[in-house]
Amino acid sequence: MSSDSKCVFVTVGSTKFDALVAAVLSNDVFESLKKTGFDRLVIQCGNSKVPLSPRIWNDEILLDTPINGISTSIWRFKKSLKDNYAAADLVIGHAGSGTIIEVLRMGRKLIAVPNETLLHNHQAELAEALDTSGYLIASPVSDLAEAIQQAMSKDFERFPEYDGSKFSRILDEEMGFI
Amino acid sequence: MTTALVYSALVFALFVLRAIYVIIFPPRKRFSSGQTCRLAIFLGSGGHTSEMLQMLQGLNFERYEPRLYLVSQGDILSAEKAAEFESKSSFPPAFTIVTIPRARKVLQPLWTTPWTTLISLVSCLQEVSFGLVVRGKPFADLLLLNGPGTCVPLFIAVFINRFLGLPSPRVVYVESFTRVKKLSLSAHLLRPFVDCFVVQWPGLHRGGRRDRYSDWLI
């Protein structure tokens, strides 16, 4: 990949998120991506419906072709998404805490989109709280195009590194070691 | 007839008093450096397991050993993750993994929950209480919980031990990093009874004697 190429990576996690995949492939979002200089879009779609008539390459890769000037690949699952996060200038993901923590610790810009059809709506609470603290942007599916503009001009707060001494201290105090 | 009533009322009152006593004054064993603390860890699957293993990374495993991982029946992934976690640790592996039946399966109708919780409780008692008789050594000195459901029967088993005056572990419950404004159901249920109740968002901190607010632990 050339150094001036700009990539956005979209992940739905281990299940599916039809509305997110549909929104990412909408004209609004494509316009927004082009305006902010993106020329590559990679979507991990899980078991979501893909609203194009995808040309099936094999079981894994659903599509790998330019759409409106943005080179687009869509595939279902991969064991680790670390390489994709690393290669991305922006990550758009479901609001699962595992994804949030991993992406933010890698220092990537993140738009977290809570899945409103899930019962676990405390995920939306988490995304909003982290948005308030400036670590990421929480956005509903419907405002994604706008959120992409915001994300590219915003200075995010750096998410704190893991500090194992905090839990260790709690237990040591609790048991009388210290 | 009346004497029987009086006696049963008396016995009942004693039960309640004993329960209140062990809630207010849980037995406490204090450790000093050089001693080892036997650790039991409940892995609640998915995000619960990931958060728990992440928190454990910071512990001095020479101090907290041996370790006993409790996983719900069928949760092979958590068992695998625990084994992988131990094998990557810089401390010598000293651990066991046991499975307990779930209190409530995903999507299980609510009205059948008491029955499955009972089955789960019997299995927890086997680990926590009967194990004492069979193996001749207590279950653990410290039990870590972070939800979901199955950690409730596990705590009840610990409580029964306390009630009977048998050795019981100290219990620390850590509410998930993902809970910002509202506690989970198991946290709600266990908060008044556990020895240390940790939350990771200030909005959840109520400032009780055993409540503790911490910066993010993950």
Cβ neighbours of residue B90 under 8 Å, at least 6 residues apart?
none
User: Chain B contacts of A157, Cβ < 8 Å?
Assistant: none
pLDDT digits (tens, 9 = 90+) for B42-53: 999 888 999 999
pLDDT digits (tens, 9 = 90+) for B121-150: 999 998 998 877 777 788 999 999 998 988
Of B29, B141, B212, the CB nearest to A170: B212
Does the residue B13 lie in any domain? no
Is B47 close to A98, i.e. CB distance below 8 A?
Answer: yes
pLDDT digits (tens, 9 = 90+) for B68-83: 999 999 999 999 999 9
Of A125, A166, A171, the CB nearest to B181: A125
* Distance between CA atoms of residues A177 and B35, nearest Å: 9
Domain that holds residue B57: 35-103+110-204
Question: What pLDDT score does A101 carry?
Answer: 95
Number of domains making up chain B: 1
Assigned fold of A7-175 = Rossmann fold (3.40.50)
> Residue range B86-103: average pLDDT?
90
| Length of chain B (residues) | 218
**Which of B89, B107, B178 to mutate to probe the A interface, most A CBs <10 Å?**
B178
Which residue from B minimizes the CA distance to A100? B178
Does the residue B198 lie in any domain? yes
pTM of the full structure: 0.91
- Spell out the domain ranges in chain A: 7-175
* B197/chain A closest Cα distance in angstroms: 11
Helix, coil or strand: residue A160: coil
Instruction: Give the CATH number of the domain where residue B119 resides.
Output: 3.40.50.2000
What tens-digit pLDDT sequence spans chain A (178 residues)?
Answer: 445 799 999 999 888 999 999 999 999 999 999 999 999 999 999 988 888 755 555 556 777 888 888 999 999 898 899 999 999 999 999 998 999 999 999 999 999 999 887 666 678 999 999 999 999 999 999 999 999 999 999 999 999 999 999 999 999 999 999 8
ipTM of this complex > 0.90?
yes
Single-letter amino acid, residue B170: R
Does the residue B73 lie in any domain? yes
Is B50 close to A162, i.e. CB distance below 8 A?
Answer: no
Single-letter amino acid, residue A147: A
Of A122, A165, A177, the CB nearest to B58: A165
E-state strands within B73-190 = 95-100, 142-145, 170-174
* Distance between CA atoms of residues B202 and B175, nearest Å: 12
Does the residue B185 lie in any domain? yes
Question: What pLDDT score does A1 carry?
Answer: 47
CB A32 within 8 A of CB A152: no
